[in-house]
Amino acid sequence: MPNDNAMPLPSSDKLSKKIGYLLGFATLVILFIYIGQNHVQGESFGWLSILPTCIVLGIAFTTHRSAEPLVIGTVAGLIMLNPGETVPGIVEVTQAVLVDPTIAWIILVCGLMGGLIALLETGGSIFNFSRVLLNKVKSKEQTMLITFCLGILIFIDDYLNALAISTSMKLLTDKYKISREKLAYLVDSTAAPVCILVPFSTWAVYFGSLLESNGIAESGQGLAIYIDAIPYMAYGWATLAVVFLVAIRKLPDLGPMKAAEQRAQAGQPKPDGVDEIDLELVQDKQTSDLMGVINFLLPMFVLVIASWLYGIDLLAGVIVAITFTIGLYWLQNILSITKMFDSMFKGFKVMLVPLATVIGGFMLKNVNDQLGLTQYIIDTIVPYISPAIFPAVIFLVLTAMVFATASIWGLFAVAMPIVFPVAIAIGTPMPIIIGALLSAAAAGSHSCFFSDSTVLSAQGSGCTPFNMPGLSCLIP
């Protein structure tokens, strides 16, 4: 007599697929163990150092996931380094990433920015700001043009740009049936590309310090040399021109972006399966639209000014801005202290998924450094180039490296000591080389689906960093 409560057996197709996955996984593990066991300690891995990154990209494009492929690629690289110490290696890399001051800064900035945005949204300030724009903006073109202009105005940091603009513009773009993917594209395209072109941004300050540490500029003159190179940062200028043309609808939507816009026109701006910052209004006291706009703009102003006063440090700025916003809301009785902290905790929680992706990218970068990937790529390319094509080659190679590793600042700290001496030796003008390096940084950050600014732009806009067509829409 059949048992109605028996567990259903998997279909033959599903079982065959699982067996195929297991066999493929086992084959890869055996391959990487073989490479690790036969590698001579102290020798370069050569072209084999590319394999973990290839695994990441292959799995990411197949599964449309971001965090998991990064972890798998990291594990694959650790097996290559020492098959018998893979688990301790995972522990060591994870700890090294999490205690790194740069990673700690990113985690705190992203989490606290999520908390600030959630606080402004829960208190109704973002809603008021969006509603005022709704009454002023009369077309789809104006909506996209305002998004573009806000991206240029908020130039101090790409994180602030990505979260503040995307969150505040969603109501407006939804009204005019603009897809969340296009919003993410507009925001992400005015994040890193704008930051490299403005000498008063976190990017300019960091790269200016690298120019000084590499002997290209004297102490205190890093920003001056950086400014000289701004006209040669071709990618930033070209991207802004393209985004402007997209905003005024002079360039057509193509491929996945066209499909996303068609879905939005049918009444679904947001793709399915998205977890975004979308909190209920729990105000204890309603405010007018004018006061709500002031309550939105004042914390943004305080954030920018505080960041500037503390040496272009967005972490210091967001701490001051949160403190200011809590006091501002408390004085107006908009939210209770308990509700304010609850909303900030929820905002921090929403940022955990993009933060996991960013951390995974840094773990892969750590392993790639141990494998010597950056050194191998540059050493392989440099002997075959001339002064005329050197900037173009550096741009293409480092863009690919940033795309593959999601490491911008860390990668260039490694690459600059290699690139600058070669440029000097072959006689390539330094401003052009700096322009190529910064263009590569912006291009790689803009196109990489697991780079920090792309992940934050997608999160704030309400689309996943790697859901087709989302990724393809963000690639310039």
The predicted model gives 391-409 an average pLDDT of: 80
How far apart (Å, rounded) are the C-alpha atoms in residues 181 and 468?
Answer: 10
Q: Torsions phi, psi of 39, nearest 5?
A: -85, 135
What's the helix, strand, coil split of the chain in %, to 5?
Answer: 75, 0, 25
Condensed to tens digits (0 to 9), the pLDDT of residues 226-278 reads: 889 999 999 989 999 999 999 988 888 888 888 888 888 888 888 876 655 55
- Output DSSP code: residue 46: G
- What's the confidence (pLDDT) of residue 469? 41
Encoded tokens for 399: 């863009």
CB-based contacts of 195-199 (< 8 A; 24+ apart in sequence): 195/155, 195/156, 195/157, 195/158, 195/161, 195/442, 196/230, 196/233, 196/236, 196/438, 196/439, 196/441, 196/442, 197/230, 197/233, 197/236, 197/237, 197/240, 198/155, 199/223, 199/226, 199/227, 199/230
Q: For residues 56 and 13, is the Cβ–Cβ distance under 8 A?
A: no
Q: For residues 111 and 95, is the Cβ–Cβ distance under 8 A?
A: no
Band of the pLDDT at 346, cuts 50, 70, 90?
Answer: confident
pLDDT greater at residue 279 or residue 419: 419
- Output DSSP code: residue 384: G
Q: For residues 248 and 147, is the Cβ–Cβ distance under 8 A?
A: no
Q: How many CB atoms lie within 10 A of CB 244?
A: 18
| Among 181-195, 401-415, 440-454, the least confident range | 401-415
Give pTM, 2 decimals.
0.70
Calculate the average pLDDT of the chain: 81
- What's the confidence (pLDDT) of residue 471? 44
